[in-house]
Structure 1
Amino acid sequence: MTYNILGISGSPVKEGNVENFLQKMIESVADENFYSEIINLSETEIKECLHCNFCLSKQKPGRYCSINDEAQAIFEKAEQADIIILASPVYLMRTSAKMAALIDRLRVFIFGNLVKGGLRNKIGVSAAVSWLRHGGVETTHLSHIYAFMTLEMIPVSVHKGISTLGASAVASKNGAGVFDPSVRLGIEEDAPGLDSANQIMKRAVELVKLIKKNEE
């Protein structure tokens, strides 16, 4: 059986720490049974939700929302995914504006006349990268986990690792917040953070296999 993983990076920085961390998360569980794809919101036009309620009664195949941007493609990929990873830098103790805009647009799966409940029982994984070790990682995870719960998805938690709530890494050495211009990808030196990514993804795979087994 093949499983689909959709990773979404909410960082505005192309090929930065968040994107790199997300890639390592997926690679940690990669095998022939997994198909994966990463969407970088830094390269994607996602406008803010207008709360126009188009999705309540006017959805049709290929158009779940009134806004004409690149969100529709993400909606359709999310429908096909078994595991969805939301990865964001920490911005003022919460997820990024780019990620928040996408999360708001996912209301098409809550109220939609065509795709209501479309993400129900999918596995949701949160990932966060902060500058400081305790600089808002868990509140950023909560931004994602609240979305998973509202969408009736299954949030992944694991006791092992930096945070029970999700994969957590720091971009500065030891999370001390000291800027070193020679370090481009600080998360690569964060062994505890990388381990947290491995642990949360192992748990996500365990859960998706259990769900698929029960569906057989």
Structure 2
Amino acid sequence: MYVLAINGSPRKGGNTDTMLQHVLKPLESAGWETELYQLGGKNIRGCMACMKCWENKDMKCVVDNDKFNGLFEKMVRADAIVIGSPTYFASVSAEIKALLDRSGMVALANGRQFAGKIGAAVVAVRRGGAINVFDTINHMYQMSQMIVPGSTYWNLGRGMDKGDVLEDAEGLTNMKNLGETIAWLGKAINPNMDSFPQVDEITR
């Protein structure tokens, strides 16, 4: 099985990156193929609401001059998707917001491609606003018929400077448990997307 972790922080090697790596370690030990994709700081624009994905139904966004379509292919292939974001003014990073809007829409337009996949959110926070980030990521998962696993706490890690999250023992333990829960869930569910009901249209 394949798990894709997406780092929405432009600071490579920062606290979001560290937490995602702690989620992946138990999955790698369980025999999963793991990938950590660095999205933060890369070129990805927001959704234009052009609805071309609903017309074309070709598994692509019509905007094809940024990182989105290549990353979307990985998301479709993945059995589990873990999206990590820092907390910027009580919300997700701009790159993650663009990814959520576009991937959610293209997946819906093409037969609900994310249905039945496992989806988890990971949030780095200095002090406040993390729950909104956590909810923003999970909202896309939930309307996409994805399965959101629980852990020992909300998937948050505290820190501002690089490496600060390593001092958050509870946060890192939660990341380890999240990885273990995803591995357990992967064994417990049937990842065959065809077993999920298809919705041809959404109200818009």
Is TM (by shorter chain) over 0.5? yes
Could you tell me whether the CA contact under 8 Å between 1:26 and 1:36 is conserved in 2? yes
SS at match of 1:85: strand
**In terms of mean alpha carbon deviation, does 187-196 or 15-24 score higher?**
15-24
User: Structure 1: 5+ residue runs without aligned partners?
Assistant: 173-182
Q: Which residue does the alignment assign to 1:179? A: none
Pick from 72, 82, 86 the counterpart of residue 83 of structure 2: 86
1:81–1:213 distance in 2 versus 1, CA, 3 Å: closer
Unaligned runs of 5+ in 2: 194-204
> Percent identity between the aligned chains?
26
Runs of 4 or more above 6 Å deviation: none
Give the aligned residue type for 2:9. S
1:129-177 residue CA offsets vs partner (Å, 9 max, x unmatched):
1012xx122221101110101111111123x23x2xxx210115xxxxx
What is the CA–CA distance in structure 1 between the aligned matches of 2:97 and 2:46, rounded to whole Å?
Answer: 9
Counterpart Cα distance in 1 of 2:131 and 2:49: 28
Output the CA distance in 1 between the equivalents of 2:37 and 2:48.
23
Residue type matched to 1:187 in 2?
Answer: V
* Residues 1-216 of structure 1 aligned to structure 2 (within 5 Å): 3-31=1-29, 33-60=31-58, 64-68=60-64, 69-106=66-103, 107-111=105-109, 115-132=110-127, 135-158=128-151, 160-161=152-153, 163=154, 167-172=155-160, 184-212=162-190
Residues of 2 paired with 1:44 and 1:116: CA distance?
28
Shift of 1:190: 0.9
TM-score (ref. length: structure 2): 0.87
Whose RCO is larger (CA < 8 A, sep 6+)?
Answer: 2
1:153 aligned counterpart, secondary structure: coil
Aligned mates of 2:192, 2:101 — CA distance in 1:
31
1:186 partner amino acid: D
Partners of 1:75 and 1:199 lie apart in 2 by 27
RMSD of aligned C-alpha atoms? Answer: 1.9
Bigger radius of gyration among the two: 1
TM-score, L = length of structure 1: 0.82
**Equivalents in 1 of 2:88, 2:144: separation in Å?**
23
